[in-house]
Chain A
Amino acid sequence: MNSSESGKPHLLEVINITKKFGGLVAVNNISLQIDEGERVGLIGPNGAGKTTLFNIISGFLKPTSGKIMFKGEDITKLPPHKIVNKGIARTFQIMRPFRHLPVIANVMVSLKSPRGSRKIEWVKTMERKALDLLEDVGLSELMLEPAENLGYGDLKRLEVARALATEPDLIMLDEPFGGLNPVETEFLTRTLITMHQDEPSRAILIVEHKLYALMKIVDRVIVMHQGEKIAEGKPEEIVKNKKVIEVYTGGTL
């Protein structure tokens, strides 16, 4: 299963990744593939190992065994910032804004990275680029507000803006809808759909519990449980999958 139908290598290949914390097996021999432009959802009950998998792919954790290939390159041993510069960006479940900096400066940190500053030559373009990104997520009015004053929904949007600033080929979102009210959820869903329309070649991997929002965005869903992949397929199929329902509800309906 080394290449997709078109014959190209997959954008992201997770090959037999296992992660053990002492005696606890958080991720057990997982493999998955993501192609260019694909939108994939990763779901599963809490403790299934989704965030651990994220951390391994983005380089914050090293797996006990297995490989991660990105665009044909082995990125398993790379430090996180190098992985970002290769083209994978991620957001965090726990908010991590730069408290002392205003919103626009938060985005500019991403733009200062080698990948973020690729198409930027002069001061003005970086500021403009930051402003454009803020507009995309709807934070333009708050641009000079210190990030510590931001509300929860705005912080989530800031995280997305920061991840997008590095122009990733694969953007990984860790529970982006967590804690958002219906209006904010709708807005973020629309933002993500527009993002995909603007950049069709950018792949999205989302971990999320709000299935109604997730199913609107993704074309494929992978289900994890206790560190293993238990199902994979189109959203409509997964929702009807008996095993998945059992895992989420603890018994058959």
Chain B
Amino acid sequence: MTLLIKSKLADSLRTVKSYSVRAYSSFIANVFDVPPRLLAFLCFLTLLAIPICWFNSFGGTRYLPIFIHASILAILGASWDLLVGRTGQVSLGHALFFGIGGYVSGILYEQLYGFSYYLTTSVLLMVVLVAVVIGVILSVLVGLRRSMRILLMVVLVAVVIGVILSVLVGSWITIPVAWVTVPIALAIGTLLALLIGLPALRVKGPYLGLFTLCIPLIVQSLVTWPPLYWLTHADFGIVTPQIIIYPLGTSLIIRKSVEYYFTLTLLFISAVAIYKVAISKTGIVFVSILDNELAAKACGINVTKYKLLSFAISGLFGVLAGCLYSHVYLPKVYPTDLGLTNSFLPIIVTYLGGLGTIYGPIVGAYIYTILDDYALPNHFLPILRMMGVNTPYYETKNLIFAVIVILLVIKWPRGIARTIVDKLDDLAKPRDIEERGPRIWKKYKKEQKEGRLRKIFSRFKKKQEEKEVKT
């Protein structure tokens, strides 16, 4: 049995390497594979943060939060782009995912745990909880068809690990509350995405946009509804548990650096995960839904299922971004987190970077955050004031961004990052792309011939052996 798996694995690895056909699923005809580019970019960002923070007179606390904010927006933007740029389902209500994580976690924190920092719980329970959450997340990422098997497998493995751990470590463990509430928030958020996805599938195009636009606003109205004040505290917001609890006396810069690397790691994981999904055969089906839903149906694709899947994955990472925002970047979650502005953020970020790519929103997020948190207030605003323009800052800034987005949508939907990448691709070995198809084809024919030769040879060998046995 293992021999069979090993040989098949070796076979497929060989094929993958020799054909490089994985390039086919790229949305753009790029020569370089995206993960190394993303990696390089993210490494660059990490390195960038170090000189800024350590050599800054404010001890880095002034500029590091900008990068934290950027990483969070990057995850949000990438999740939106997967749904809208790749699967063509326009979601104008990503703020729902953004805000719901903090609210679920905060409500649990307040109602169930009474604001205690730590939680003493049985190891077994914890492990099972983590297992269920990971199961939900994995099943969403891998595809709803195999989810049951994966879920069961993960839960079984987790129970076994839990039993072993509880024997070794003792049955009780003290962990920050957030480590329980945040995964629950993630799981609930993903399920919510699926729930929203179901009606969303029945509606097409414009209706979908409306529908998604209004859902977070409904939730926002609910949250600020006076009779629910005891639960949600309306405009005062709910305090969220801390994910990383520092020992007393940790300097601000160490705390901010830890938070920065934490969010950056999560950004990296999310980016790679979304990339893997986008480049897989499921990702190809997503693009087919974007291009021509009717033709996809005629190819036997259950369009509903794949739209749901796209919604779920997008929701998962959206909730992740929101959880990071409400737990790490800010200490509380507010009703405005569900508001229109946050629905609009992934739009700006994606169009700045480039619709339909994975790295586009990430780059766009950094550009936007640096503009929004740094360049505009510190440099642009003084110039405006000097020129005598005394308009309120917040509205002027939003106005400028709105105008930029409109211009981008009309003239330049490819965005900044994608245009640069496409130019680089054009410069780097353009002939390679045209010749690659025929080259791969020739290699394939050769391998077919060799395969046939091998078969003929083995048949020949068998005949020889039979002859030998006879004589």
Contact = CB atoms under 8 A, between A and B. Distances in A.
Contacts of B285: 109, 112
Contacts of A79: 297
Given A97-B292, A100-B287, A84 B437 contact: no
B284 A127 contact: no
Contacts of B290: 100
Contact of B15 (A92, A121, A123): A123
A98 B290 CA distance: 8
Given A80-B297, A89-B298, A113-B302, 15 more contacts: A81-B300, A81-B302, A84-B297, A97-B291, A98-B287, A98-B292, A98-B296, A105-B25, A108-B24, A109-B285, A112-B285, A127-B15, A131-B444, A143-B437, A144-B437
Contacts of B297: 60, 79-81, 84
A92 B294 CA distance: 10
Contacts of B292: 96-99
B433 interface: yes
A85 B282 CA distance: 18
26 contacts: A60-B297, A79-B297, A80-B297, A80-B298, A100-B291, A101-B24, A101-B287, A104-B24, A105-B24, A108-B24, A109-B284, A109-B288, A109-B296, A109-B299, A113-B299, A116-B299, A122-B8, A122-B12, A123-B15, A124-B12, A124-B16, A131-B441, A141-B437, A143-B441, A145-B437, A162-B295
Interface residues of A, number: 47
B4 to A, nearest CB: 11
A157 to B, nearest CB: 15
A60 to B, nearest CB: 7
B294 A144 contact: no
Contacts of B25: 101, 105
B288 A165 contact: no
Contacts of B296: 98, 109
Interface in B253-304: 281-282, 284-285, 287-288, 290-292, 294-303
Contacts of B300: 81, 84-85, 89, 110, 113-116, 166
Nearest to A106: B288
B23 interface: yes
B21 interface: yes
B294 A60 contact: yes
B244 interface: no
Contact of A96 (B8, B295, B440): B295
Interface of A: 58, 60, 79-81, 84-85, 89-90, 92, 96-102, 104-106, 108-110, 112-116, 121-124, 126-128, 131, 140-146, 162-163, 165-166
Interface string B418-440: 00000000000000010011101
A89 B300 CA distance: 8
B15 A98 contact: no
Interface in B15-33: 15-16, 19, 21, 23-25, 27, 29
Contacts of A163: 298
B127 to A, nearest CB: 33
B291 A99 contact: yes
Contacts of B15: 123-124, 127-128
A101 B437 contact: no
A113 B300 CA distance: 5
A166 B303 CA distance: 16
Nearest to B305: A81
Given A109-B285, A110-B300, A112-B281, A100 B27 contact: yes
Contacts of A123: 12, 15-16
A101 B301 contact: no
Given A112-B281, A127-B15, A131-B441, A81 B301 contact: yes
B227 to A, nearest CB: 43
Nearest to B26: A102
Contacts of A112: 281-282, 284-285, 299, 301
A101 B296 CA distance: 12
